[in-house]
Amino acid sequence: MFGRRKKDSAAEDAAGADEQVVDSVADDSADAARTRVRLEPEPRPDGPWDVSEVREPGEGRVDLGGLFVPGVEGMELRVEVAGDAIVAATVVLQDSAIQLQGFAAPKKEGIWGEVREEIATGITQQGGVIDEVEGPLGWELRAQVPVQLPDGTGGVQVVRFIGVDGPRWFLRGVISGQGAVQPQAAGLLEQIFRDTVVVRGEGPMAPRDPIVLKLPDDAQMVAEGVKEEQQEGSRFSGGMGQLQRGPEITEVR
């Protein structure tokens, strides 16, 4: 849904912006058209953080290069790939998960509002249902996404799309599993999102280009299929079903 290039994963479907809606003066009727005005990113007093805002980003976090992801007891951390690049990290906690992905953004404009619209349009065109609400992390999308079940029948997956604009970057999260079905159960996942540190780098990047990640130096690799039986019984097995699952890392905390 990015439109910049053809992509094959949900983690590459999004990046967005805070926005303001103002009435158009071109129409005097009560149903006047509305024009969206892009605004600079809102302050982030509770995170997520830019690397310039954190003295020791590696303290208590897993270094994935473009992201420093908080480590919590009992979590499983998976990295996911698109082509040859690692573009997303998914933190799994019991029956919930949050997929994290960073994108480049314009210097003085947020993009989350714009991308919320793109995600919502894409999902509704697939026959899904979208609800835009103001949640603990600001405006988010709560979606019922059509999926094909293992037995070949159709079903829906409940997910939450959250996002925050930072300085020249945008961090998107997709919450699935119990944390999406019951948002009140997602407190720890939301805190992981807030405490993530983004390293955009100083090099030129086009807006919406994914911030590439890397494996930690001490990563313990798990071959694909080793946990297949466990994943088949999971409500969020396969994430959004559009990213190729890559190597998995288990962090012992």
Q: Is residue 77 part of a domain?
A: yes
Q: Tell me how far apart the alpha carbons of residues 172 and 240 are, in angstroms, rounded to a whole number.
A: 14
pTM: 0.73
Alpha carbons 43 and 46: distance in angstroms, whole number: 9
Q: Report the DSSP beta bridge partners of residue 170.
A: 103, 165
Is residue 208, in this structure, part of any structural domain at all?
yes
* pLDDT range class, residue 32, cuts 50, 70, 90: very low
Q: In this predicted model, what pLDDT tens digit does every residue of 196-230 receive, in sequence order?
A: 999 999 899 999 999 999 988 766 555 455 444 44
The CATH number of residue 59's host domain is: 3.40.1000
pLDDT value at residue 221: 54
Q: What is the pLDDT of residue 88?
A: 95
What integer pLDDT is reported at residue 14 of this predicted model? 40
Query: What average pLDDT does the segment 135-147 reach?
Result: 94
**Contact residues for 29 (Cβ-Cβ < 8 A; gap 6+):** none
Strand arrangement, sheet containing 49-50:
49-50, 197-198, 67-70, 61-63
pLDDT at 30 over 90: no
- Per-residue pLDDT, 82: 84
Q: Which of 27-41, 57-71, 81-95 shows the lowest mean pLDDT across its residues?
A: 27-41
Range of the domain at 128: 10-238
Tokens of 63: 């270094």
The pLDDT score that the predictor gives to residue 245 is 37
- Among candidate residues 16, 107, 66, the one with its CA nearest the CA of residue 200: 66
pLDDT for position 185: 87
Torsion over CA: 34, 103, 88, 220 (sign): negative
What percentage of the chain has pLDDT greater than the value 90? 56
Is residue 249 a part of any domain in this protein? no
Cβ-based neighbours of 112, under 8 Å, separated by 6 or more: 15, 16, 17, 18, 138, 139, 163, 164, 165, 170, 172
- Residue 114 clears pLDDT 70, i.e. is over it: yes
Give the CA distances from residue 157 to residues 81, 97, 163, in Å, rounded to whole numbers and listed in that order. 21, 13, 19
User: Tokens 């955009």 appear where?
Assistant: 200
- Is residue 253 included in any domain, yes or no? no
Interatomic CA distance for residues 93 and 177, integer angstroms? 10
Of the candidates 130, 126, 133, the one whose C-alpha atom is nearest the C-alpha of residue 155 is 126
80: confidence class by pLDDT, cuts 50, 70, 90: confident
Between 107 and 251, name the one with better pLDDT: 107
The tally of domains found in the chain comes to: 1
User: Of 36, 62, 54, 8, which is closest to residue 166 (Cα–Cα)?
Assistant: 54
Is residue 124, in this structure, part of any structural domain at all?
yes
Residue 83 has pLDDT above 90, yes or no: no
pLDDT band at 41 (very low <50, low <70, confident <90, very high): low
- 244 within domain boundaries: no
Q: Which of the pair, 222 or 77, is modelled with greater confidence?
A: 77
Q: Does residue 245 lie in a domain region?
A: no
> In the predicted model, is pLDDT for residue 241 greater than 70?
no
